[in-house]
Structure 1
Amino acid sequence: MSTAEPRRLLLVAADPRTADRAAGAGFHVRTLRYAAHLTPQGFAARVRRAAARHGAEGIVCLDDGPAAHAVRVAADTDGLALTSAESVRRLTDPAGLRQLLDEDGRFDTRGQPPAGPGFGVHTLTVHGVHHVLVVTTRRPATGTAHIREIAPAAVGGQELAELRSVVTALLDLADFQFGFADVHVVPAHDGPRVLAVRAGSGSRAGELLRATAGFDPETWLFRGLAGEPVPRPVPRCAAAVDGLGRVLGTAPSPSAIARAATVPAGASTAVATYT
């Protein structure tokens, strides 16, 4: 999509606040809600007709629902995708992710990671430039009332740099060009291991970033798309969210948040190790 032309976006399955953020960044916005009675392919056909009718120059689908892949394929077909459907599929589909990592050769998919909490590396990508917004400590799922993520993670500079390097290399490998990614990583003696990737705006990062840094990811996704430099969020405090994404509270430090609740230990299955 050329920034020299009128910028018209079709937002698919977007919250009204998302449309307001896109409009606030200077885009001409149309929205289209999911139609539950349609198949994914039928809904994708409706998206293509709506994009043509409104003269859309880009189709944005930040949702990860059942029709999302068909919508991204339709956007690809009409040259309106801001990132390819294949890039998202290879990241978010477990088999696709493993194949992607195996093909590259820098990632080792053998073995099991240590049991226990891992990290969530939350990114915003515009025009293929990846911005790591926050690294969180991620707790095992034990019900919606327990702490699930704490931001920011209490990690040292070297470990933080390794996490950033692993995740941005992975996004480059997939040729991910636009949107949000939530990458689940666990530490291991031979380097961070990637467990899974989720694309879209459904992660808990938004609430954590708003609570700790006053930073709204969707606002900056569209402002970045409009050509503004995306700033790095600077946390003023720590915060925790539960399994439903609700902020449970804030504190001066991650350790103070962690002491506020007892969270059972858990285990995960490794997908990959970056070396």
Structure 2
Amino acid sequence: MANGTAAAGWLHRVTDSDIWWSFKSSPMTVAAALLTLFIFAMAFLAPVLAPHTPFDPATLNLSDGLKPPVLVSADGDWTFPLGTDDQGRDVLSSIMYGTRLSLEVGFASVFVAMLIGITLGLISGYFGGTVDAVIMRIADVQLTFPAILVALLIDGVVRGLISVKRHDEIALLVIVGAIGLSFWVSYARTVRGSVMVEKNKEYVQAARVIGLSPLLIMVRHVLPNVTGPVLVIATLNLGLAIITEATLSFLGVGLPSTEPSLGTLIRLGNEVLQSGDWWITVFPGITLAALVLAVNLLGDWLRDALNPKLR
């Protein structure tokens, strides 16, 4: 009974908040949220919902190759509603599995970037001085390079240190680390600025007086007060991380063909695009564009909702 009362109270606070009002009063934001939820459900439930297992060689039949979508050609097969590629893989199932992999890379990359950026931002803002100067100069240097070039550099260094076979085995970890190391600067600079404001407030001074360690003060008292801007950056960076991964995979330095993301699917389709088999590239491209657009719209709304000055 107590748990039910607590849950009801929490639900009432959420539905009565300014953020919820801002959300439901924006039709575009609601549409973006529904589209995001739909894509997420199709991706993470792919093993259950996908009509085929596209990357299991035992289930493929070359005679099913290059079938067109059913809605644009009488030669289509409803078994493969969005057509097939040159290997006989169902495009719809490939998109579902590829979207799941792209989202996994995106979320993991954002987590790595947040972990690095928040940690360095807290240290830089709290301690200041030489520590702050060194961290911020490193951040300034990295800002002079586009994120895609940083990711390419890191991936190239790893490829030079290990064999191609070993790289393919750990390609997911490499790409997550490369993208994460490309996006930490925005978190660090934002957290640093917020910490420099918060550390001079009375509650932080009181925590120092009673003898709490700097680590405990940063984690328990300062960090909760800077989560708003970090959450906004994370939402926007999710779309950027997905685009970066797709770009790397399209260039052939991302995930291997045995673990295709949306970027890999677009690259594989681009190789046969001149033959007129447009659906292999177009449908993954539409999915990628819709996903990134929906996530970015949610990020823009969240930025405005958490900043009273923009309401």
TM-score by length of 2: 0.23
Q: Which has the higher strand share?
A: 1
Larger radius of gyration: 2
Q: Which has the higher helix share?
A: 2
